[in-house]
Structure 1
Amino acid sequence: MKGKPGRKEGGTRARVRNELAIQIGKVARDARLKLKLTQEDIAERVGLTAEVYGRLERGTMLPSTPTLTKICVALGISADVVVGLANKEATQMQPAPDEEPPQEIRRLLRLVRTMDDEQLAIFKGMATGFAKLNRRRQQSKRDTSQVTAT
């Protein structure tokens, strides 16, 4: 079979690449679920579309080195763990607990980022109104509790 050298070697490379993609995807998914994040959350932090990040988690594609680095940072996990060179517990990086906003706020932020200037102005006005209403309610509760305490 002249003209097709290394065919067997190419098959081995493809299998190793496939196994690596599956390894990366499994570890990334486990870490994401442990952090209670969505694929959209990680995709946004990494700079990918949710669809592409989903393919990475399913093990159907390998990330580039810069993307792998961003995924590791977003998930707070060592690249050695992601590619299967180290034990998860030995090299787990812990993100600061106060850095992570609740899921509802993350979704709201994604929505706000898609708004144009007019929509943002309306949204800001509504948010300001809700904040004022909340302050009034809190003040009213304080006033009521002070009256009942005396």
Structure 2
Amino acid sequence: MGQPSTGKLAANVGEIARESRLRAGLTQADVAERVGLATEVYGRLERGRMLPSVPSLRRLCIALRTPSDTFLGLNTGEVATWVAESSPPEYDEVPELRRLMRTLRKLDGSQLKLIGLVAAALQKR
């Protein structure tokens, strides 16, 4: 599954930015000025067409008085669904298996084939 969908993250950041801006009674130009972005760039961010850089996200949090966790969709006490869906399966695996996987990633094709044969033989025991 890989990393979280950039599109979903951008949409969440934009939605939260818009809601926070309206709640604060600010215009897009007001927020753009406070964050140090062109109004057009801030508008794209709010429409979910782009993600802010980390420094811009920090300034956005300050300008809109909104925690970064809210922008990132992590404010519910649980990991957001799009994060949970995209987490690598190895996070749920035991440490021994993660170590083995790191080692296996360094092997070439013939070495992997041999390991596969050994594993198959062990499984039959």
Q: Is the aligned partner of 1:45 residue 2:28?
A: no
Superposed CA offset, 1:76-128 (max 9, x none): 010001111004xxxxxxxxxxxxxxxxxxxxxxxxxxxxxxxxxxxxxxxxx
The structure that has the greater radius of gyration is 1
- Per the alignment, in what secondary structure is the counterpart of residue 25 of structure 1? helix
Distance in 2, matches of 1:81 and 1:26, equals 10
- The two structures have a TM-score, normalised by structure 2, of 0.58
> Aligned to 1:64, which of 48, 53, 60?
53
Pick 1 or 2: higher relative contact order, CA cutoff 8 A, min separation 6.
2
State the number of aligned residues. 76
The one-letter amino acid of 1:55's match is R
Q: Is the aligned partner of 1:24 residue 2:13?
A: yes
- Return structure 1 stretches of 4+ with deviation > 4 angstroms: none
Distance in 1, matches of 2:67 and 2:47, equals 19
- The two structures have a TM-score, normalised by structure 1, of 0.48
Q: 1:36 corresponds to which residue?
A: 25
Distance in 1, matches of 2:64 and 2:51, equals 17
> Aligned to 1:80, which of 59, 62, 69?
69
Shift of 1:25: 0.3
Distance in 1, matches of 2:36 and 2:75, equals 26
Distance in 2, matches of 1:72 and 1:54, equals 16
Shift of 1:66: 0.4
Q: 1:94 corresponds to which residue?
A: none
Distance in 2, matches of 1:35 and 1:44, equals 15
Q: 2:106 corresponds to which residue?
A: none
Unaligned runs of 5+ in 2: 77-125
Distance in 1, matches of 2:25 and 2:31, equals 11
Q: 2:43 corresponds to which residue?
A: 54
- Per the alignment, in what secondary structure is the counterpart of residue 5 of structure 2? helix
- Per the alignment, in what secondary structure is the counterpart of residue 77 of structure 1? coil
Distance in 2, matches of 1:74 and 1:82, equals 13
Q: 1:117 corresponds to which residue?
A: none
Tell me the percent identity.
Answer: 50
